Amino acid sequence: MSETKTEEMVEVQVTQSFQLQRLIDLLVNVFEMGSSSWYNGIQQINYSDQYPKDFFEQFEKGTRAYEALKHGLGITVRVDNPEDDCRQISKIIDKEGMIRAINVMAVLHKKHFEDFINENDDADTSDVFGQLIVYNELIFG
């Protein structure tokens, strides 16, 4: 009887670089399409002394949250609380959270990360990314 040798697999981690704007763009489906059952809307922009509320009046109302993220500010959103009968809670989306979420996606949700890197992302990719930002894990679907 002959033995069949299996090929040993080697995993390599590769550093990917992309603009912050790509992460902000990934939130479009969460914010605008309403495809996420767990997401309930933007509660507020967390203004700063450097970028006060008046600064954002130059932008269209529907784009202010994106501009806030581009300028390094956080935004507070309303989301379902899965630990309390899905009552709403407030969570912050900011640059640090987006970077943490994309790193988790790269390790634990490789298909979605590959779709993002290959610019083949869709509503599902956005949904996973959004949940990773606010919950630190994939809870809904």
Q: Check residue 31 and give its pLDDT.
A: 85
Examine the pLDDT at 35 and tell me if it is beyond 70.
Answer: no
d(CA 61, CA 10): 49
Examine the pLDDT at 137 and tell me if it is beyond 80.
Answer: yes
Residue 43 lies in a domain: yes
Residue 14 lies in a domain: no
Residue 91 lies in a domain: yes
pLDDT digits (tens, 9 = 90+) for 47-76: 999 999 999 999 998 899 999 999 999 999
Residue 15 lies in a domain: no
Residue 141 lies in a domain: no
Q: Check residue 1 and give its pLDDT.
A: 59
Residue 12 lies in a domain: no
Q: Check residue 86 and give its pLDDT.
A: 66
d(CA 135, CA 17): 24
Q: Which residues, listed in sequence order, are joined to residue 81 by a DSSP beta bridge? A: 87
pLDDT digits (tens, 9 = 90+) for 80-134: 988 887 689 999 999 999 999 999 999 999 999 999 999 999 999 999 999 999 9
Structural domain boundaries, residue 90 = 20-135
Residue 51 lies in a domain: yes
Q: Decide: 140 and 131 in contact? Cβ < 8 Å.
A: yes
Q: Check residue 141 and give its pLDDT.
A: 77
d(CA 45, CA 76): 6
Write down the H helix ranges in 1-141.
20-26, 28, 64-70, 95-108, 110-117, 123-135
Task: Provide mean pLDDT across the span 14-36.
Answer: 84
- How many domains is the chain partitioned into structurally? 1
Q: Which residues have C-beta within 8 Å of that of residue 87, sequence separation ≥ 6?
A: 80, 81
- The residue with tokens 């630190």 is 136
